Amino acid sequence: MTHSSTSEPWKKPALLAASVGALGVVFGDIGTSPLYTFKTVLDLTGGHAAPTILGVISLLVWTLVIVTTVKYAGFAMRIDNDGEGGILALMALLGVKRHQRPLIVATGLFGAALIYGDGAITPAISVLSALEGLNIVAPSLQHYVLPLTVVILLALFALQPMGTAKIGRAFGPIMALWFLTMATLGLWGITQHPAILWALNPYYGIHYLVNGGGSGFLVLGGVFLCVTGAEALYADMGHFGAGPIKLAWSTLVFPSLVLNYAGQGAIVLAGAPTEGNIFYRLCPPWLTLPLIILSTVATIIASQSIITGAFSMTRQAIQLGWMPRLKIRQTSQEGYGQIYVGGVNWVLMLVTIGLALGFGKSDNLAGAYGIAVSATMLMTTGLLFIAMREIWQWNLAISGAIAGLFFVVDASFFASNMMKLFDGGYVPLILAAMVYTIMYVWHKGITAVALRLGENPVPIDSFFADLAEARISRVPGTAVFLTRAKANTPPVMQWYVRHSHALHERVLAVTLDVASTPYIAAKDRLSMAEMAPNFWVITARYGFMQKPDLPALMSLIATRGCPIETHELTYFIGMEKIVPRDDGRGLPRWIEGLFNVLLRNSARVTDYLHVPPDQVVDIGRQVSI
């Protein structure tokens, strides 16, 4: 489904302001890639002859055109899930078109898992590459680059619990300054050797690949670094709308990147030294230190955007039932995306600093970087093909031709990056495999628990008939039972009555459903029915970008005709203890064991749903899966 709101921002006066805001969130990663991409590619080419430089710059420019401008801005951003984009939103959208689509789910989940690897590598390589400019200012400072990088990364992650709302207002203008600076430096470089503009002709890139042999294929892995961060155009679409992102890309970001890469190529053709960071060779010596400071700030902003994206994707995965509950804290009322997930933050910090210390230089990290992003893009292409067929109803020939072009490009980059598997490329794959395993085990576990608790259902009429026959006492007050059973008696309520021999006068059986769309309007939130005297069955629906709040839900229910006093509610929460089944029909022991660990260490349901602790009764139950 497409959503009309994605085109509306073009008509709004706030378009320019939204585009500036997008600069600080969407384009930080791709915007700082000139710091390390061209020098990485030159190391792979092994030569600085004019045909080589022209071929490399041509490949960089046309990779930006095909992958970012055509694939993401031109096609992917036209497919949204109620305004939201990204591989998880696309997976959720396609996953509801038909039932039982395990391949689509697996593709989307592993693509999302790879993004966590990207999130760990981006801060390390970006900050390292920015600070390596100190080697040009004063070679004696070389030994301070790595310690300074670690200090900056520590500070970056340590500040996350405070939120970034106030600092974030400055992100857009700073990144606008960064792109204008890159464009200016690039223009100055082009004046040193204007013949570099011939590289805008795709012939030079194709000629280099055809005649470069094995080295030409390997160079693709370095060239691909110019589009790391392109996935953010799609993933962050829900924050700004497609219009502002496309405007910022076409009018400032893309021209600045092209000019800067061309400028770097031009000064190499003009005879500039190629040792160290070529990006800083574009700058007059007396401006190098201010540029290093601006570069470092830009890489911090890029890193902040990646970390915020990881928080947002974690919330989506939790809501969709693919990750354990984690404590999520809203750090600002100014935007729903301003959240903090402590567990993700500290794990990312340890991995990022470990990568910086382990690899030491941005050149060494480049090998680890491309695999995660190219694999994610390859999986996005597969989902885009399905979307073209099922959502746009395009015929097989057109869908296959367009998606086939993207597939050839993405597969070429992925294959080239895989040549660096043993030079650090294994790192994001290991990280992704770990995240994917957690997602898979958690989903299998909660599904198994739901099936076990749903065995031998008791109809509501039968339950209340038995209640009257057994003369079970009805005590004053209102009980709220969270349950997955919509049509039958909640298992946790059966357990409570069986052991306490009492039940409250009024009972609410509440089911929280997460839709495959990002947002559910408040007016569409509730479905209520009084299935027996003073027994209400309530279903509350949330989008996967929304976090349920149980007390707020109870206040909403009270306004819809349910006679409850919110301050007198008692919430009954089932606390499952997982034990293995002894009939041989349960989950494999390793899945059952790992799920048990995840369940014990996940956030309490009451904390996750903001339930007041003094109104909660925990009911422990053993569940064999």
User: In this structure, which amino acid lies at residue 560?
Assistant: R
Question: Mind listing the pLDDT tens digit for each residue in 400-448?
Answer: 999 999 999 999 999 988 888 888 888 888 888 999 999 999 988 988 8
- Given this model, what pLDDT does residue 165 score? 60
CA torsion, ordered 402, 251, 197, 36, to nearest 10 deg: -80
Span 537-544, mean pLDDT? 88
CA torsion, ordered 340, 342, 345, 351, to nearest 10 deg: -170
- Distance between CA atoms of residues 273 and 599, nearest Å: 57
Q: In the structure, what pLDDT confidence band is assigned to residue 308 with cuts at 50, 70 and 90? A: confident
Span 106-125, mean pLDDT? 83
Query: Residue 46, by phi and psi: left (phi above 0), alpha (psi -120 to 50) or beta?
Result: left
Residue 359 has pLDDT above 60, yes or no: yes
Residue 5 has pLDDT above 60, yes or no: no
- Given this model, what pLDDT does residue 223 score? 92
- Given this model, what pLDDT does residue 335 score? 55
- Given this model, what pLDDT does residue 11 score? 46
Highest mean pLDDT among 256-265, 321-330, 610-619: 256-265
Highest mean pLDDT among 33-42, 115-124, 319-328: 33-42
For the chain, give every residue range classified as CATH 1.20.1740.10. 4-444
Q: In the structure, what pLDDT confidence band is assigned to residue 4 with cuts at 50, 70 and 90? A: very low
- Given this model, what pLDDT does residue 10 score? 39
Return the minimum-mean-pLDDT range out of 202-216, 270-284, 327-341.
Answer: 327-341
- Distance between CA atoms of residues 472 and 391, nearest Å: 54
Residue 51's nearest CA partner among 189, 186, 206 is: 206
Burial 34-60 (b: 16+ CB within 10 A, else e): bbbbbbbbbebbeeeeeebbbbbbbbb
- Distance between CA atoms of residues 45 and 40, nearest Å: 9
Structural class in CATH, domain 4-444: mainly alpha
- Given this model, what pLDDT does residue 203 score? 94
Percent of the chain with pLDDT over 70: 94
Span 583-596, mean pLDDT? 85
- Distance between CA atoms of residues 176 and 184, nearest Å: 12
Residue 78's nearest CA partner among 250, 253, 254, 237 is: 237
Higher pLDDT pick, 395 / 568: 395
Chain-centre distance for alpha carbon 81:
15
Q: To the nearest whole number, what is the mean pLDDT of the chain?
A: 85
Span 222-245, mean pLDDT? 85
Return the minimum-mean-pLDDT range out of 496-500, 515-519, 546-550, 613-617.
Answer: 515-519
- Given this model, what pLDDT does residue 474 score? 85
What's the Cα-to-Cα distance from 321 to each of 314, 543, 553, rounded to whole Å?
11, 12, 20
- Please indicate, yes or no, whether the overall pTM of this predicted structure exceeds 0.85: no
- Given this model, what pLDDT does residue 100 score? 53
What's the Cα-to-Cα distance from 307 to each of 121, 122, 314, 335, rounded to whole Å?
11, 10, 11, 16
Higher pLDDT pick, 364 / 520: 520
- Distance between CA atoms of residues 512 and 544, nearest Å: 12
Residue 517 has pLDDT above 60, yes or no: yes
Residue 151 has pLDDT above 90, yes or no: yes
Q: What are residue 624's DSSP bridge partners?
A: 579
Residue 3 has pLDDT above 60, yes or no: no
Chain-centre distance for alpha carbon 116:
7
- Given this model, what pLDDT does residue 178 score? 95
Span 79-83, mean pLDDT? 80
The answer to whether 23 and 200 are in contact (CB under 8 A) is: no
Looking up tokens 């909403």 gives 556
Burial 606-624 (b: 16+ CB within 10 A, else e): bebbebeeebbeebeeebb
- Distance between CA atoms of residues 477 and 565, nearest Å: 9
